[in-house]
Amino acid sequence: MILVGINRTLTLAMQSIRAFVRALLKRRVNPIIQALEKRVRILTPSDRLIAGVLAIMMVFSVGALLASISLALTEEVPAYGGSYTEGLIGSPRFINPVLAISDTDRDLTTLVYSGLMRSNPDGSLTPDLAESYSISNDKRTYTFVIKSSARFHDNKPVTADDVVYTIRSTENPNIKSPRRADWEGVSVSALDERTVSFTLKSPYAPFLENMTLGILPKHVWQEVSPEEFPFSTRNTDPIGSGPYRVANVKRNSSGIPIEYTLTAVTSGTRIPYIKNFIFKIYTNAETLKDALSQNKVQGAHSIDTTGSLSSFALHEAVFGRIFGVFFNQSQNKIFADASVRRALDRAVDKESIISRVLRGHGAVIDGPVPPRTAGTEIATTTSEVAIEAARQILTDGGWKPGDDGVLVKTITVGKKKESVRLAFSLSTSNVTELKQAAEMVADDWRRLGAEVDLKFFDQNDLNLSVIRPRTYDALLFGLVIGRDLDLFAFWHSSQRNDPGLNIALYANSATDKKLETLRTTDDFLSRIDKAQEIATDIRNETAAIFLYTPYFVYRTPADLSGIHLGTISTPSDRFLSADRWYLKTERVWPIFNTKKVEEYTK
């Protein structure tokens, strides 16, 4: 049957060739063509079979050649389309840049809204809704021109009035925005429909970071009073100008949102590749982990990565948070002794904390600035070697074992001598991770010869009763270091008392000047260099014991590409480049590598 089929196909092909030749010659006599026609007519079945096989081989050969040429001369690029489903913990209340307070709020707000500027994963800033901006010579006035293509999801243009309305809503004390402090002392005005100006009381280089605040549409919100603002349904059915708009919301029988479907915009300042982002809401980490293992969702962050989740792609990024022990020399004078601070620092087995408490998802640090990338390593020694080195530091500093094994030292106070013991309390939050870390640190110090009393507090009590009044000997706590690397609030001497955040009560006039200069340095790379210089000064004085920075852990499907996390300040920062993520690819010739929105909407 195969031979018959080939024979029939070849016969039809020969007939077509003869017809083509006759039409080409238009009845003109051509001896060569006539000879060819005669030869075709007298082909035997075996001749035809051989000719058919050769023809098939030629077709495959030409096809393979064309495929290899295409592969060599084209490139694979992201293509539009696809859906990605992620699980979140806790239903959002405020998909609103002015009010967002929870991680879920900020996740959706980051995708739905956009600001005049946008943060990049590497920490730099680029215009988003803004077409351009300028800074006055005295570095107090910032002027922005809004792109003519900037549109809200209802297709209304983004104007300077929308920007002014958003800032004034954020400043309104009756609305109680968590971003209100960012705008104290800042005046804002619309110069024309697309131009807006901000004036500061004094220069402040990190101010540009404030421009990432998402812009609200005035025409949607202006009829809502400040008292009604937090209760408006616009907070859960938002209209923004970001790369994604809310297309559908599923609610449970109580009316609480349990699933959000976000669809990519097809016009505006950023056109994303992935068509749909679907967020399913879960009540806790365990139910979310179960959903991951059962493939009900494709991604999630900050979930225990052991066991059944090993098949997911793992992304790690530096979390912009540092954890350490901060001393209060005013409350316990032993910390004024530099040898004590150095020895306590030397004795801590930081690698064990990373391994046991963070399950390997973190990095050892030795200063107040987190590393720039995950995987940064600092040389450490074994626990026994570290304890012996720390004990030698104390011995050289005049400390000796007392009758009960606790180290003691004789010091002079006025004209009298008195004996002091290496005894103090260590306070921290009643959170599993911090409790475990505090217990490990205390065990190392006890082996060294210190008497350590652990104190655990609920987070609110820790803040109100311990941190704000500075009633602690030593405090194990974490600081959030933003992308702007503004260390002023944590280390400037003017911030030693509440509401300042200088919980180490650190004071150094030379470092103060460097911190002030850092605040007026515009260039991003120069800011990094200056921050590292300040970090070196603080580290050299052992102003605190810096323990670790955790990693942000993000699980996604293996086919989700284009993810670049950089340094994460809050979990929502993972979406800073979400418009560049993609699930599909295509091959194109380089000269035609221009993506059109029309292709995406088909």
| pLDDT tens-place string over residues 274-294 | 999 999 999 999 999 999 989
Residues 541 and 571 in one domain: no
pLDDT of residue 65: 66
pTM of the model: 0.81
For Cα atoms 501, 108, 559, give the angle at the middle one, nearest 5 degrees: 110
Residues 127 and 265 in one domain: yes
Query: In total, how many domains does the chain have?
Result: 3
Residues 46 and 185 in one domain: no
Reading the block at residue 211, the tokens are 């421009």
The boundaries of the domain holding residue 151 are 83-309+565-575
Residues 235 and 339 in one domain: no
pLDDT of residue 6: 45
Residues 163 and 188 in one domain: yes
Separation of alpha carbons 284 and 598, rounded Å: 41
DSSP class of residue 412 equals E
Residues 531 and 462 in one domain: yes
104's CB contacts (< 8 A; 6+ apart) are: 88, 89, 90, 91, 92, 281
pLDDT of residue 413: 66
Query: Does 9 map to a domain?
Result: yes
Q: Please tell me the total number of residues recorded for the chain in this structure.
A: 602
Query: Does 585 map to a domain?
Result: no
Query: Does 220 map to a domain?
Result: yes
Alpha-helical (H) ranges within 397-508 are 432-448, 459-461, 488-491
Contact 77, 61 (CB under 8 A): no
pLDDT of residue 2: 44
| pLDDT tens-place string over residues 186-201 | 999 999 999 999 999 9
Contact 581, 560 (CB under 8 A): yes
Phi, psi for residue 282 in degrees, rounded to 5: -125, 160
In sequence order, the β-bridge partners of residue 281 are 88
Contact 101, 94 (CB under 8 A): yes
Nearest to 322 by CA among 261, 382, 369: 369
Count of CB atoms within 10 A of residue 391's CB? 19
Radius of gyration of the CA atoms of the chain, in A: 34
Query: Does 126 map to a domain?
Result: yes
DSSP class of residue 358 equals S
Q: Which parts of the chain register pLDDT below 50?
A: 1-6, 9-10, 12-13, 16-17, 20-21, 23-29, 596-602
Write the burial class of residue 370 (CB in 10 Å: 0-12 exposed, 13-18 middle, 19+ buried): buried
Residues 132 and 38 in one domain: no
Nearest to 546 by CA among 328, 329, 365: 365
